[in-house]
């Protein structure tokens, strides 16, 4: 059903002159990622996106486990916390992002978003009481600024004929981290809350995620160059936000 809806309501928007011949070797996650190596600067952005996703995916992996273990939350309380998290993200994406990117540009906006994402993870790691989680959500709400400008910067590195392939590559990265993170973070949580734990620390998964997110900030600031004016115009910020959604 989803495929049929996409066929009917999502027609191809790329101009005929920018389309390329279909190739099976590029129509798969590995081939798509390999193809991205041909575009200068895209590798570092891909690494940042990988580290960011690897760190941020700790939340769906262990949020319910950590919340129940550390704060004794019920299923309803866990649901409320996730709802608050999603609501803040929606507010930022809908109201703040369209104003921040034109004022600061994609590069600075991405730095702000990545930095707040890392700081929020550190805050969650050391939040010893449930109310602190909500405080972190409110204070760290700007973390929602990270993804759209990062995608926009990546889009400026590839030609129009490869825009869809780029989004496929980023989706492949997301899929890879979706496979890794449940095993990684639940394993860390189990180790640091079990009887053989070197120290009882329920926030260990969040701390590990915060480290990955900090590495994402470092790589971005040191390796991802600010785009030239013509690159900035190649993809509008609102288009990147739409792709991210």
Q: Is residue 79 part of a domain?
A: yes
Listed in sequence order, the residues at least 6 apart from 68 whose beta carbon sits closer than 8 Å to its beta carbon are 78
- CATH number, position 190: 1.20.1250.20
- What range defines the domain where residue 220 resides? 39-244
Q: How far is CA 149 from the centre of its chain?
A: 11
Contact between residue 212 and residue 51 where contact means Cβ atoms under 8 Å apart: yes
Q: Is residue 91 part of a domain?
A: yes
Residue 237 pLDDT class (50, 70, 90 cuts): very low
Q: Is residue 5 part of a domain?
A: no
What pLDDT sits at residue 241?
A: 47
Q: Is residue 115 part of a domain?
A: yes
What pLDDT sits at residue 231?
A: 52
User: Which residue in 28, 221, 9 sits closest to 115, CA to CA?
Assistant: 221
User: Which residue in 117, 78, 142 sits closest to 220, CA to CA?
Assistant: 117
Give the number of other CB atoms < 10 A from CB of residue 145.
27
What does the pLDDT look like over 47-57, one tens digit per residue? 999 999 999 99
Q: Is residue 80 part of a domain?
A: yes
Residue 238 pLDDT class (50, 70, 90 cuts): very low
User: Which residue in 109, 143, 77 sits closest to 226, CA to CA?
Assistant: 109
What pLDDT sits at residue 20?
A: 65
What does the pLDDT look like over 21-77, one tens digit per residue? 666 566 666 767 777 777 888 989 999 999 999 999 999 999 999 999 999 999 999
Listed in sequence order, the residues at least 6 apart from 137 whose beta carbon sits closer than 8 Å to its beta carbon are 81, 84, 85, 88, 120
Q: Is the pLDDT of residue 243 over 50?
A: no
Number of domains in the chain: 1
What pLDDT sits at residue 10?
A: 80
Q: Is residue 74 part of a domain?
A: yes
Mean pLDDT score, 78-86 = 95
């Amino acid at each position: 059903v989803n495929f049929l809806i996409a066929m009917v309501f999502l027609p191809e928007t790329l101009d005929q002159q920018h389309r390329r011949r279909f190739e099976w070797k590029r129509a798969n996650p590995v081939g798509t990622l390999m193809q991205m190596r041909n575009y200068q600067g895209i590798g570092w952005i891909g690494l940042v996106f990988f580290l960011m996703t690897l760190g941020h995916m700790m939340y769906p992996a262990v949020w319910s486990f950590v919340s129940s273990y550390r704060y004794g939350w019920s299923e309803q309380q866990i649901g409320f916390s996730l709802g608050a998290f999603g609501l803040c993200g929606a507010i930022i994406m809908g109201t703040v992002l369209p104003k921040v990117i034109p004022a600061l540009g994609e590069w600075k906006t991405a730095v702000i978003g990545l930095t707040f994402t890392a700081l929020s993870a550190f805050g969650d790691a050391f939040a010893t009481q449930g109310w602190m989680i909500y405080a972190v959500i409110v204070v760290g709400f700007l973390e929602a600024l990270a993804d759209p400008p990062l995608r926009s910067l990546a889009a400026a590195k590839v030609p129009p004929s490869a825009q869809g392939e780029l989004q496929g590559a980023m989706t492949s990265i997301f899929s890879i981290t979706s496979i890794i993170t449940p095993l990684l973070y639940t394993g860390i949580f189990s180790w640091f809350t079990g009887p053989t734990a070197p120290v009882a620390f329920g926030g260990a998964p969040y701390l590990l995620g915060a480290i990955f997110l900090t590495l994402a900030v470092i790589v971005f600031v040191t390796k991802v160059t600010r785009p030239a004016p013509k690159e900035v115009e190649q993809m509008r910020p609102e288009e990147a936000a739409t792709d991210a959604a």
